[in-house]
Amino acid sequence: MEGARPVRAPRGTTRTARSWQTEAPLRMLQNNLDPQVAERPDDLVVYGGTGRAARSWAAFDAMVRTLTTLKDDETMLVQSGKPVGVMRTHEWAPRVLIANSNLVGDWATWPEFRRLEQLGLTMYGQMTAGSWIYIGTQGILQGTYETFAAVAAKRAAAAGRYQDGGGTLAGTLTVTGGCGGMGGAQPLAVTLNGGVCLIIDVDAARLRRRVEHRYLDELADDLDDAIARCERAKAARRGVSVGLVGNCATVLPELLRRGVAVDIVTDQTSAHDPLSYLPEGVDVADWHAYAAARPAEFTDRARASMAKHVEAMVGFLDNGAEVFDYGNSIRDEARLGGFARAFEFPGFVPAYIRPLFCEGKGPFRWAALSGDPNDIRVTDEAILDLFPDNDHLHRWIRAAQDKVAYQGLPARICWLGQGEREKAGARFNDLVASGQISAPVVIGRDHLDCGSVASPYRETEAMADGSDAIADWPLLNALVNTASGASWVSIHHGGGVGMGRSIHAGQVTVADGTDLARQKIERVLTNDPGMGVIRHVDAGYDLATKVAKDRGLRIPMAEQERPATSLVALTEREGPSASLAALTEPEGHPASLLAQTGQKRPTASLAALPIPRGSRASFTSLWAALEPIGRHPGTGGYRRFAWTAQDAQLRDWFAAEARARGLDLTTDRAGNQWAWWGDPDAALAAGRPGVVTGSHLDSVPDGGAFDGPLGVVSAFAALDALRERGFEPSRPIGVVNFGDEEGARFGVACAGSRILTGALAPDRARGLTDADGVTMADAMARAGHDAGLLGRDAETLRRVGAFVELHVEQGRGLADLDRPVAIGSSIWPHGRWRLDLAGEANHAGTTRLADRHDPMLALAEVILTARREAGRHGCVATVGKVRVLPNGVNAIPSAVSAWLDARGPREAAVREVAAAVAAVGGGVLAEESFTGDTAFDAELVKRLAALLDDAPVLATGAGHDAGILASASIPTAMLFVRNPTGVSHSPAEHAEADDCLAGVDALTSVLADLAR
């Protein structure tokens, strides 16, 4: 192209422009054309076919000239790569406004665009080419890493597994095709997530190149060798990538035929263009000549091969693999090739990325204008420091430091969400201000982001409300970034998927260390991803609605009615609601006096009892601080598992709340936390052991908010209420947080209280393993707790004179009785058994019904019998876990193991249910655990009943730490708070605010009575 010459952005701290706000776009424009960055710099092409940074070299020169002299109250306007005007604006306005490749709807086609381009009237801006924030191949590697991480998270969630950051691909095999410019990022992205990747490409040179660049680990000699390498690595749970030269249309059906256990299948061959997909039977050497000479015939053959390729992908889908289209249109091409089931697997955005978009997560990137890699190193550390619990982010940053070579100005990319980006931006600005970063940093993103693009074949495919093609969103995105103080803002058409198929917007903001920049950064980096959240709220995604509420994003259409469903919402209300008004303390009638004197309460309903304002506020703020920890953005359920990062956060929360109240904090040998008001040892010496309340903070996979935490929050709130009333305890009051009550990670429920009381032997506890093979001992060590200490803790137990656990009810007892609070009398006898049923594996299609030995039939009998017998005996019974071998959709199983959980009011009845099940199953029933009836302390229950004389007394079928303490002969009782739906161990678990406060009040009275 005329005027071509090598361009490279200046480095260092000396500016050519008047300020960093204009120096930054100047350097980034030049950086996009750096030969290290751009694919064809002489033609001004940066990436993505013909994505350009400027329309012509003359236009480039004019932009450089203008930026060099532009003042801080002026704005340069760029129309498709050419500067067309400078306008007087103000210092909060962007210094550059860009519109690239936009065409009126009916004209938005490639032929029309090319005609206009020929006339010199427009240019193709792609996404980050024409908006001057391309950073080379790091972007695609990170995006691919994120996608595979989201696949891992989805698989972990489906399997009910915990994992910090949502799971890894350890122990899985991914099969994919296409090791080209973009697809070549796949093997490294899979291994960074811990998985095994088999990547197939017809072109050996493409595979070799990726080995040289360390994106691909090994090349296999042939298919047998490839399978052997992958299976070895998978069995050893090593992250390894293996390249195989071959045609996907041949190799995938063969893998399927051989029954290779593949977990994930996708593809990044250049299927979007049939001339770029090599059909079976054509040599790589003949490819381009053949395609050019007979394009129609070549297209037909390519589509026929794609139909075979996709048919095999659907075969893997039928076998239970995770299969997705990775944005290369292979489904549509296979459909055109005659395969009708091509669209049975989803595109990657609706399958994995949309939940991230609902949270405002997307590709956040930044570049160091100094050119000094150390500046990026400083920002990397800042990110690691800001988000210490995000393992997945840490893994990426460390891997990027090791594997990614900078192209042009040093830069970094990672995915951050709404609420996170502004923190990072503000920190970067502070680092520039303090000189720890040597020159300003630009902060931008891809146009492929949560709220900045309308692209019905990719980012907005299959929106919940059908709004895929509504392009108002990217336009609003550009407008709000302009209004918020971004340094340059762009609106483009056609990026990623071509003319007529997308509209998208971008922003870049400069962190120059000034206060003004900090203010702009905070607004832009809040509002820009905020667009993603509100865009998905509008489309009807519940997750986005929740995120908007948590982050305080205003949604006008939702403000007409603000129901007080959430506890947090209560504090936000201006006046007391009708129900709260009923709970305010009547003058001259302090509840504490009644309790302290041991007087009986008037027989009012608990819901109407007086609650002091202070304890209500304390309950609400305790709850608000705890609520976000461990909540999974995709499901809205909680994943708070023992000895994980979330667990550490919960423990920190507990310690901080204890400290804030001046309580003495101890951790026992089992790792349970205790916070004491008063000295338990001195009191013990005086013969007055303490009164303890509390519960646990961990959860089942995707559990509800209340199971456990309600007891701990209520404990602190009750303490606050006692203090507010001026109560002086005559024996110490303790609050306890028992670890690992749910047993979600290591399989043993109430592990913390069992180890404490000696019911679980320390050696057995240490050796328990989670789904990833990590032992409890290792997990504890990683969390900084010495597993060597595990064991019965007599010293701690002696301090506990009585224990009262408050818990949300896990059934409908109180709802049926229409009461807010109950007293627990006992925990039902409870058994768990494993039943092994043998069968004979055989083909699902060819084996006659009469010839089958199908253990699933026996299992069906078992399940029905369990239900029927439980009903007959007044018990409950569940078959909630089943293991099937080989677990294929088209195979009769060879063996089934099922777990029976049965509970009931009498041990004999529970055992009868199990015996009946064993009789029909015809297999072996092995008892895994049995706990007899656990009655709570009769005296204590009586005392509570006298105190709370309106409260019903109920037995429960759910296990609790209280049961373990009762079995260890500690006087124990429980309080239950109404759960209106009775649903528990699910995100739908609920308790109304008024009932929670009634629970706090009841607990306050109990503690006052016991510690008086």
How far does CA 508 lie from the centroid of its chain? 27
Q: Which of 34, 78, 103 is nearest to 488 (CA)?
A: 78
Question: In the complex, what is the shortest distance from the CB of residue 315 to ligand NAD, in angstroms, rounded to a whole number?
Answer: 17
Distance CA(292)–CA(44), nearest Å, equals 26
Cβ proximity to ligand NAD: between 286 and 851 the closer is 286
Q: CB neighbours of 384 closer than 8 A, spacing ≥ 6?
A: 393, 394, 397
Q: Is residue 217 within 8 Å of 191, Cβ to Cβ?
A: yes
Question: In the complex, what is the shortest distance from the CB of residue 446 to ligand NAD, in angstroms, rounded to a whole number?
Answer: 11
Question: In the complex, what is the shortest distance from the CB of residue 177 to ligand NAD, in angstroms, rounded to a whole number?
Answer: 5
Helix (H, G, I), strand (E, B) or coil at 690: strand
Residue 774 has which token pair?
Answer: 């990590």
Cβ proximity to ligand NAD: between 141 and 993 the closer is 141
Helix residue spans in 215-324 (DSSP H): 223-235, 248-258, 287-293, 295-318
Burial (CB count <10 Å: 0-12, 13-18, 19+), residue 712: buried
Question: In the complex, what is the shortest distance from the CB of residue 824 to ligand NAD, in angstroms, rounded to a whole number?
Answer: 54
Distance CA(785)–CA(774), nearest Å, equals 15
> Which helix or strand (DSSP H or E) is residue 204 part of?
helix 204-212
Cβ proximity to ligand NAD: between 117 and 201 the closer is 201
Neighbours of 48 (CB within 10 A): 19
Q: Is residue 321 within 8 Å of 262, Cβ to Cβ?
A: yes
> 90 vs 73, 74, 94, 490, 513, CA distance in Å?
4, 7, 9, 18, 19
Distance CA(167)–CA(161), nearest Å, equals 8
414 is catalytic: yes
Question: In the complex, what is the shortest distance from the CB of residue 277 to ligand NAD, in angstroms, rounded to a whole number?
Answer: 4
Question: In the complex, what is the shortest distance from the CB of residue 928 to ligand NAD, in angstroms, rounded to a whole number?
Answer: 46
Distance CA(660)–CA(199), nearest Å, equals 55
Q: Which of 699, 722, 711, 734 is nearest to 962 (CA)?
A: 711
Cβ proximity to ligand NAD: between 278 and 356 the closer is 278
Cβ proximity to ligand NAD: between 180 and 987 the closer is 180
> Sign (positive/negative) of CA torsion 871, 875, 880, 882?
negative
Cβ proximity to ligand NAD: between 176 and 438 the closer is 176
Distance CA(645)–CA(778), nearest Å, equals 14
Q: Which of 745, 739, 754 is nearest to 694 (CA)?
A: 739
Q: Is residue 618 within 8 Å of 720, Cβ to Cβ?
A: yes
Distance CA(752)–CA(878), nearest Å, equals 25
Q: Which of 857, 869, 853 is nearest to 917 (CA)?
A: 869
Query: Residues interacting with ligand NAD, by CB under 6 A?
Result: 177-183, 200-203, 206, 247-249, 268-272, 276-278, 305, 326-328, 458
**Packed helices 421-433 and 373-386: angle between N→C axes, nearest 10 degrees:** 130
DSSP 8-state symbol, 769: B
Question: In the complex, what is the shortest distance from the CB of residue 533 to ligand NAD, in angstroms, rounded to a whole number?
Answer: 22
DSSP 8-state symbol, 643: T
Residue 156 has which token pair?
Answer: 């972990």
Neighbours of 552 (CB within 10 A): 8
- Considering the candidates 414, 450, 875, 996, report the single residue annotated as catalytic: 414
Distance CA(934)–CA(523), nearest Å, equals 57
Point out the residue whose Cβ comes nearest to ligand NAD: 180
Residue 568 has which token pair?
Answer: 């947090």
In the block, tokens 């509570």 appear at 944
Question: In the complex, what is the shortest distance from the CB of residue 347 to ligand NAD, in angstroms, rounded to a whole number?
Answer: 8
Q: CB neighbours of 419 closer than 8 A, spacing ≥ 6?
A: 360, 526, 551
* Main-chain dihedrals φ then ψ at residue 407, nearest 5 degrees: -120, 120
Residue 856 has which token pair?
Answer: 């699933």
Cβ proximity to ligand NAD: between 180 and 758 the closer is 180
Distance CA(327)–CA(348), nearest Å, equals 7
3-state SS, 513-571, equals CCHHHHHHHHHHHHHHHHHHHHHHHHCCCHHHHHHHHHHCCCCHHHCCCCCCCCHHHHH
Q: Degrees (nearest 5) of the Cα angle 834, 838, 839?
A: 145
Question: In the complex, what is the shortest distance from the CB of residue 732 to ligand NAD, in angstroms, rounded to a whole number?
Answer: 60
Mind telling me the catalytic residues?
414
